[in-house]
Amino acid sequence: MNARVTIFFALVLGLLSLGAFAQQAQARVETIDHGGVYFDDVYIERGQIVEGDITVIGGDATVDGTIHGDLTVVGGNIDERPGSLITGNVRQGGVLARTIASDQGIAWKLGLAVVVLLFFLIFPLRTRMALDRLEKHPGLCTAVGLVGWIAVIPLGLLFTITVVLIPLIAVEVVAIVAGLFIGTAALALLVGRRLYEMMSPRTTAPPLLALLLGLALITAAELVPVVGALIMVLVGVVGLGAAVLAFVREESFTGVRPAAPAGPPIGGPPMVIG
């Protein structure tokens, strides 16, 4: 790979870091009034009495009141303010657990990217057909994807009402999931190919490299606050539409039949006229 590809990967890593930092910055501080297990920063207000054990995973515990029970914090810090009281045991986990908890969003996205890669390797033909639909009919892919998502709930209700067709609900779910992964792979191929052409205009990216480039950029973009949510919606809608159209003959929605192949030239001796 040339220097431009290296720079691109550095930018992607920067976007991933930005997404992880934004996720940590958006962590909620939850005021609690009872014991239990919590996955956010928790705060016991001054004068408040909490009955029961408290376990905090991947967050900090700030105690300004009273806890009648144990306080366990895994992957976070404990701040016992002056005048606070904890009648039970106080236990604190390590920094490694906090790092793992804060990176769950990135790990989840990377896991989904691996599944998309597997779908590309298992269904290469359908993925390439979905890519073809995206390149030729992006608007139609978006419209079909919107209709598909709107039709999911009515179809599920119809299958449920008829009772006999209830097993088709599982088929519907499997079809949607498979369509999402195939459509995402097609989108990643398209994005990766365009990026590679921008970085190296005189060469064509191998399909696997284009897929990895596209997945890296899409994954990084989805981790950015607000914009990431819009990217996820766009990928879900357009990708599903492209996957649906990949199973439909192109002439059925374009109305244009492919040109018949030209026949062999007519041979034989010249005809005599006269």
Parse the chain into domains and list their residue ranges. Answer: 3-17+104-252, 32-101
Mean pLDDT (the chain) is: 80
- Of 80-89, 168-177, 183-192, 197-206, minimum mean pLDDT range: 197-206
Is residue 127 a contact partner of residue 185, using CB atoms and an 8 Å limit?
yes
For residue 17, is pLDDT > 80? no
Is residue 186 a contact partner of residue 169, using CB atoms and an 8 Å limit?
no
Tokens linked to 185: 């792979």
**Of residues 215, 213, 227, the one with CA closest to residue 19:** 227
**Of residues 62, 28, 58, 56, the one with CA closest to residue 44:** 62
The confidence score (pLDDT) of residue 229 equals 85
pLDDT band at 74; cut points 50, 70, 90 = confident
For residue 47, is pLDDT > 60? yes
The confidence score (pLDDT) of residue 135 equals 92
The single-letter code of the amino acid at 92 is Q
The confidence score (pLDDT) of residue 25 equals 42
| pLDDT tens column, 150-196 | 998 888 888 888 878 888 888 889 999 999 999 999 999 999 999 88
The confidence score (pLDDT) of residue 21 equals 47
Kindly report the three-state secondary structure assignment for every residue of 181-203: HHHHHHHHHHHHHHHHHHHCCCC
Full-model pTM: 0.59
**Of residues 181, 192, 134, the one with CA closest to residue 1:** 192
For residues 74-88, give the mean pLDDT. 88
- Of 101-110, 241-250, 260-269, minimum mean pLDDT range: 260-269
